[in-house]
Chains A and B, each alone.
Chain A
Amino acid sequence: MAEMKYTDDHEYILVDGDVGTVGITKYAQEQLGDVVFVELPEAGKVFSKGDEAAVVESVKAAAEVYAPVSGEIIEANGDLEANPGLVNEDPEGGAWFMKIKFSDKSEMDGMMDADAYAKFVEEQG
């Protein structure tokens, strides 16, 4: 069963076995506004948890997308480079950024589930 976890950088990671699908949350894209550019890592690249892995830019600003866990990129979502606006339309679905193969699943400990994240967003005002 795939489970969705959230970070306090407003990213989600959908976990399925030892692969996590990473993207930015609905709240994150709302804050960012109209997304006009996405830069993705190449497959094979290895990141430590917290490294800058991708970049998302709106008309207003640029934001980094961090690797929520350590691991190797096995796939990036090329659709986003051609159609960055997808991030606004379907952030937690079709607009995933990258798939990362875990090196240490215990790094997921302490991440928020959907309810906890909803509360976290509420507190952001």
Chain B
Amino acid sequence: MSQGSDTGEVLKRTPLYDLHVALGAKMVPFAGYEMPVQYPLGVLKEHLQTRSKAGLFDVSHMGQAFLYGPDHAATAAGLESLVPGEIAKLGLGRLRYTMLLNGEGGILDDLMVTRSASEADDGRLMLVVNAACKDADYAHMRAHLPDGLTLEPNEDRALIALQGPAAASVMSKWCPQAGELGFMTASSAEFDGIDCHISRSGYTGEDGYEISVAADKVDQIARALISHDDVEAIGLGARDSLRLEAGLCLYGHDIDETTSPVEADLVWSMSKRRREEGGFPGADRIQKELRDGPSRLRVGIKPEGRAPAREGTEIVDASGSKIGKITSGGFGPSAEGPIAMGYVQSAQATPGSEIGLMVRGDARPARVVETPFVQHRYYRKPK
């Protein structure tokens, strides 16, 4: 039951630190920051709150940066030399999930890339990267991006996420413009007169928004949002169970420098052009895996009993031979039972495959299943 250790490291705080403390959050070290793991409501109720109404998340620890170049084609081409995603064809006001790759096609980090909705910002992309990786990501990009592109971290901006089926109606109270966005689109906007940048996206599988705003203005927005009857503050604990139910990867757990996008079942994030043309780090390995199939694959796993199987749990086949490992596992409050993700040898990666999970010395029955565990409910704008 240890709750993190005292490593003597000086922890950073987000601009919402005082608000978290005032709300009674339990603060823990996470990626170099003091972050709220839960509020008095508790992980279970915070999770269910987000699925039934709306939850507010402080994700200001994540890295926000601008990438500048002479025009979209040049900036996109530069970034595409480091990621396998389709950036060239990213439309105005659209965002996309992709990943920074190392020379072996392993994942250095996963990130969101947004192209500004305004033609006036042509040549600028906004990146959001993981907190634990941001310094390494920036160094990597600076070292490898072609001349003519500039990376500019935005240290003075905060980032919050409002997630859940009530997110749109809540946002409309202060930011009517938010309702016009479809899933994975973005725009600059005003929230109660405060300049911000909003995208309709998130990490829970629910409809919702991420709001990027000047650090000294975020407290005002956060307090407005939690004053709404439908909104509660949500900590990292529920953020983790929500994203696991949604089948979304957590960097450093489900994906890392050894896993390729093919093994991680993230091929959907690469366009046909990029798969065929390559031109990203590790293209040899990735194209070979696309051709021949990867030796292992990330899958969803449903234990048959009630016992959760945690990260690190060994996965075995019917004969007891080791075939893989759980990378994220726990209890899904909305799935109403234990759920997990992990890597298995490709032969056992088909949904329905019967596998065993080594929990406390016993091989406990489980099945490979399709993800998500809880249906995504993103907002698709009517055409």
Contact = CB atoms under 8 A, between A and B. Distances in A.
Interface of A: 10, 28, 31-34, 36-37, 39, 52, 55, 57-63, 81
Contacts of A33: 38, 42-44, 237
B300 interface: no
Nearest to B330: A59
Contact of A60 (B43, B306, B338): B43
Given A55-B360, A59-B330, A37 B338 contact: yes
A34 B3 contact: no
B331 A36 contact: yes
Contacts of A62: 308, 310
Given A34-B45, A37-B331, A58-B43, 18 more contacts: A10-B1, A33-B42, A33-B43, A33-B44, A33-B237, A34-B42, A34-B43, A36-B44, A36-B308, A39-B307, A57-B307, A57-B308, A57-B331, A59-B44, A60-B43, A61-B310, A62-B308, A62-B310
Nearest to B47: A59
Interface in B12-50: 37-38, 42-45, 47
A28 B308 contact: no
Contacts of A31: 1, 3
Q: Chain B CB within 10 Å — which of A28, A58, A59 has the most? A: A59
A7 B47 CA distance: 33
B247 interface: no
Interface string B231-257: 000000110010000000000000000
Contacts of A39: 307, 360
24 contacts: A10-B1, A31-B3, A33-B38, A33-B237, A34-B42, A34-B43, A36-B44, A37-B307, A39-B307, A39-B360, A52-B360, A55-B360, A58-B43, A58-B331, A59-B43, A59-B44, A59-B238, A59-B241, A59-B333, A60-B237, A60-B330, A62-B308, A63-B1, A81-B306
- 5 nearest A-B residue pairs (beta carbon): A34-B44, A36-B331, A59-B43, A63-B1, A31-B1
Interface residues of B, number: 21
Interface of B: 1, 3, 37-38, 42-45, 47, 237-238, 241, 306-308, 310, 330-331, 333, 338, 360
Contacts of A55: 307, 360
A34 B235 CA distance: 14
A62 B338 CA distance: 12
B310 A59 contact: no
Q: Chain B CB within 10 Å — which of A28, A32, A34 has the most? A: A34
B6 to A, nearest CB: 11
Q: Chain B CB within 10 Å — which of A52, A58, A60 has the most? A: A60
Contacts of B237: 33, 59-60
Nearest to A88: B42
B342 to A, nearest CB: 17
A60 B37 CA distance: 10
A61 to B, nearest CB: 7
Contacts of A28: 1
A39 B359 CA distance: 12
A124 B117 CA distance: 52
A57 B313 CA distance: 15
B3 A37 contact: no
Contacts of A37: 306-308, 331, 338
A34 B331 CA distance: 10
A55 to B, nearest CB: 7
